[in-house]
Chain A
C-alpha cells in the first residue's frame, strides 16, 4: 500500500472569464521513505498539486488516498488532527511565518495543537527540535525576521518534523537559498529521511537538485504528466520534448551528464 496515492487529480482556475486547467488528470503515488520529485517549468502546476495534496485547496476531480484513508473525505477536527502526518515546507521561509512570530512560537504551535508535549515540557522539545535541524537552542527567543534565510529554512523544517509526519511536501524549499546553504539543507533533509523514514514530495525546477536527491521524478507540462520514472534515468535521457527542454536549460546538469558519458 502506498503512503500517498493520487488519482486523476484535476484542478481548474477561472480567471477573467477563461478557465485555466492548472492540474489536468494527474495520478501518482509515493511510498514510505521515498522522495518523489515534481519538476516542470513555471506555471506547470507544481504548487497547485502541493496545495491539493495538503488540502489547502480542493480538487475539481480525482481522489487522494493518504495512509490508507480517503484523505478528501476528512473534515473539520478529523482533518486537522490528520494534518500532523502530512507537513509542508515553503519556498520563502520569511513569507511562510507570521511576521510577528519568534522561533519558539512557530515550533510551539504544532506541539500544542497536536498535544505532543505539555506546556512545561515544550521548551525542552523546542530546544531538541532546534538541535535536530542543526541550530543552537538559544535561537528560540529570536524573532523570525532576525535570523538568516538558511536558519529560517531550518526552523521551517523543524516545524514540519515536530509532529513526526510520514510525508513532507517541499515546494521549492531550497530554490531561494544560495548554493552552499542549499547543499547543507539538502543534506539535512536526506539525513532526516534516513533516520525517520520520512517521504518527500520534492518540488523543484532545478533538475540538478532533483537528480541528486529524488528516487523518482515526474515531469509536468501545463498541468499534465509529460514523463515519469527513475530520477537519474529520466534526467539523463529524457524522452518528452519538455524533458529535453528542461535538461537543455540546466547548465550545471549538462556538464555533469557530459562528464559521465
Chain B
C-alpha cells in the first residue's frame, strides 16, 4: 500500500488533514473575503447567527468576527509554520555541526543549547518580544529561539550515529570537504526524526503566538486569535462567544496540525520500516 493510501485509511490523519485544509483555505480566502477585519461592519456586540451578512456577529467595536477569524487564521498559520521552520532549520544546523565536528565545537554548541533549553521557552519569547518590540517577524524569531534546542538535540544524536557509517568514511576518502560531508551527506539523513517533531512544534508555535497576542505582545497591526480572545475577555460574561469562537478555532487548528503531522510520520515510518 502506498503511504498516501495508508494515510487515507487512518481516520485521525484524515480528520487532521481536513481541519488543516479548512484552516489553509481560510487563510487563503482571507485575502479576498470576508473583507477588512479592522473595519466597522455593523452594530457592536451583535451575537452570532442573528444577521446572515455577519454570521458570527461583531465584537465590541462592531468589527466582523468572521473576517477577524479568517485573518487570524492567516496570522496563526504563518507564524506557526515560519517559527517551526526556523526552529527546525536552526536546530538541524546546530545539531549537525555539533555532532559532526565533535570536540570543542560540540562542547560549546551544546552548552549554548543547554542555556536556551534551561530558560522556559515562553518566558524567552516574552522577554524577546518585550525588548525588541512586537511585529510578526519578531514573534517568529521569539518563538523559534525557545524551540530550536529540541530539534538540535535530536539532530545531534542522529548525526553521532550517522558519522560512523561507511558512506561518511567513503566521502572523506574521496576528499570531500568536511562541511559538504556534514550538510550534504549527513544532515539529510539525520532529518527524518527531526521532521517527525514538526507537527508538535508547529502546534506549540501556534499556541505560543496566541499566548503572546493574548498578552498584547502580538503584532498590533494584525488580527490574531490570541488577540481576539484577549479582546473578548472584557465582555466575557455578556458576550462569551467573542472568546469562545477564536478559542475553538485555536483548539481545532492545533488538533488538526497534530493529527495530520502524526499521520504523515506514521505512514512514512511504516514505509521506512518495511524497506
Contacts and interface: CB of A to CB of B under 8 A. Distances in A.
Given A56-B172, A98-B189, A100-B189, A80 B166 contact: no
A227 interface: no
Contacts of B33: none
How many chain B residues sit at the interface, stated as a range, is: 10 to 19
Interface in A51-99: 51, 54, 56, 79-84, 86-88, 90, 92, 95-99
B185 interface: yes
B173 A56 contact: yes
Interface stretch (B77-85, B94-102, B174-182): B174-182
A96 B175 contact: no
A124 interface: no
A159 interface: yes
A83 B176 CA distance: 9
B2 interface: no
B185 A110 contact: no
A248 to B, nearest CB: 31
Contacts of B166: 90, 92, 95-96
B177 A80 contact: yes
Contacts of B165: 95
A113 B184 CA distance: 13
Contacts of B172: 56, 83
Nearest to A88: B173
A163 B185 contact: no
A83 B167 contact: no
A95 B175 CA distance: 18
Nearest to B172: A56
Interface in B152-185: 165-167, 169-177, 185
Contacts of B169: 51, 54, 56, 88, 90, 96
Contacts, number: 59
Interface size bucket, A side?
20 to 34
A81 B176 CA distance: 9
Nearest to A84: B175
B177 A87 contact: no
Nearest to A93: B166
Query: Which of A81, A109, A159 has its CB near the most chain B CB atoms (within 10 A)?
Result: A109
Contact of A87 (B171, B173, B185): B173
Interface string A216-227: 000000000000
B188 interface: yes
Contact of A80 (B167, B175, B188): B175
A119 interface: no
Contacts of B170: 88, 90, 96-97, 159
A114 interface: yes
B171 A109 contact: yes
A96 B168 CA distance: 8
Given A51-B169, A56-B169, A95-B167, A163 B174 contact: yes
Contacts of A163: 174
Contact of A98 (B167, B173, B175): B167
A54 B175 contact: no
A176 to B, nearest CB: 12
B175 A114 contact: yes
Nearest to A114: B175
B173 A54 contact: yes
Question: Which of B165, B169, B185 has most chain A Cβ within 10 Å?
Answer: B169
Contacts of A56: 169, 172-173
Given A98-B189, A100-B189, A83 B173 contact: yes
Interface string B185-202: 100110000000000000
Interface centre among B166, B170, B171, B188 (most CB of A within 10 A): B170
Nearest to B184: A98
Contacts of A79: 175
14 contacts: A56-B172, A80-B176, A83-B174, A84-B174, A87-B174, A88-B169, A92-B166, A97-B167, A98-B189, A100-B188, A100-B189, A110-B174, A113-B177, A159-B174
Interface of B: 165-167, 169-177, 185, 188-189, 275
Given A56-B173, A95-B166, A95-B167, 7 more contacts: A56-B169, A79-B175, A80-B177, A87-B173, A96-B169, A98-B167, A145-B275
Closest 10 CB pairs of A and B: A83-B175, A80-B175, A95-B166, A96-B166, A88-B173, A110-B174, A96-B170, A98-B167, A90-B166, A56-B169
